[in-house]
């Protein structure tokens, strides 16, 4: 928050300096003779390019403009009759160039700091999204929280050798159910499902919703020998579900599990999810 405030203040200061420079330029604009208006318009062009495309683009534009005005100066110096006034003098050209560079640097700096502020805001939004770890429909933790907790368990296992099991639970055709019966009935079912899920698990088990149809559990200290009982319990988790209109709908599911041990050399949540989803695909086939 403090960094964002400082950057916002810096951008405001630079915009203020840019406005002051614009006012001073209008008051003390160098007289370029017949091309004074064109010179002012070209400075405005360089300013906007630098402001919306960055300092590098602005400096390139300034270089082109100075080349054009320098060429015009030397053309007048060598080809106009000596008894006529030049369009502008060397001092005027120098003054014009200084104003041009000042506007380009100020506007390019504003562009740079606004981009930095935007990136900072996007980063903060991403952090907030990750910190808000609750799925609104079920009250379970979300995918970001799952990946964080899974990584912590993987690290603990690799350090201390204590195994744990990850279970992936997929409700078949829930998306179609939601489309057919509507959001209200889908929310009612999810409330029912999450209650059954809490009743069928230990308080130490961590429960997550990864997507519309996909749920995951981290079961600490659960070994392969325990899984037959656990899997049978989860296969019967939903059974027949009674709709609000009194009709009954039967849900099917697919379940995959993987026990993480130190010997498995698992390093990241993606490794575990890849194994679990491959197992679900093999069941589907």
Nearest to 10 by CA among 118, 117, 108: 117
In this prediction the pTM is: 0.55
What pairs with residue 208 in β-bridges?
A: 141, 216
What confidence tens digit (pLDDT) does each residue in 103-131 have? 888 888 888 888 888 888 887 777 666 66
Q: Which domains does the chain have, with CATH numbers?
A: 2-131 (no CATH), 143-284 (3.30.70.270)
3-state helix, strand, coil in the chain (%, to 5): 65, 10, 20
What confidence tens digit (pLDDT) does each residue in 37-76 have? 888 888 889 888 888 888 888 889 989 988 888 888 787 7
pLDDT confidence band for 207 (50 / 70 / 90): very high
What are the residue ranges of helices labelled H in the chain?
Answer: 2-27, 36-53, 55-79, 90-131, 143-160, 174-181, 183-199, 224-235, 269-284
pLDDT confidence band for 167 (50 / 70 / 90): very high
Between 111-125, 142-156, 184-198, the lowest mean confidence (pLDDT) is in 111-125
């Amino acid at each position: 928050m403090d960094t964002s405030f400082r950057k916002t203040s810096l951008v405001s200061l630079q915009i203020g300096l840019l406005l002051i420079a614009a006012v001073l330029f209008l008051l003390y604009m160098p007289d370029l003779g017949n091309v004074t208006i064109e010179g002012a318009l070209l400075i405005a062009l360089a300013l906007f390019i630098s402001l919306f495309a960055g300092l590098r683009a602005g400096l390139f534009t300034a270089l082109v403009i100075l080349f054009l005005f320098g060429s015009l100066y030397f053309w007048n110096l060598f080809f106009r009759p000596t008894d006529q006034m030049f369009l502008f003098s060397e001092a005027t050209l120098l003054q014009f160039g200084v104003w041009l560079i000042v506007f380009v640097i100020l506007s390019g700096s504003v562009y740079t700091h606004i981009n930095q502020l935007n990136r900072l805001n996007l980063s903060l939004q991403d952090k907030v999204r990750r910190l808000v770890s609750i799925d609104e429909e079920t009250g379970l933790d979300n995918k970001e929280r799952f990946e964080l907790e899974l990584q912590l368990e993987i690290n603990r296992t690799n350090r201390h050798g204590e195994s744990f099991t990850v279970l992936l639970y997929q409700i078949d055709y829930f998306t179609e159910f939601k489309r057919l019966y509507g959001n209200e009935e889908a929310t009612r079912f999810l409330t029912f499902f999450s209650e059954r899920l809490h009743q069928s698990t230990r308080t130490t088990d961590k429960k997550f919703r990864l997507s519309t149809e996909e749920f995951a559990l981290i079961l600490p200290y659960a070994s392969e020998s325990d899984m037959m009982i656990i899997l049978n319990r989860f296969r019967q988790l939903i059974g027949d579900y009674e709709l609000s209109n009194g009709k009954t709908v039967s849900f099917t599911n697919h379940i995959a599990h993987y026990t993480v041990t130190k010997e498995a050399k698992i390093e990241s949540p993606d490794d575990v999810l890849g194994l679990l989803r491959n197992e679900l695909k093999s069941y589907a086939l």
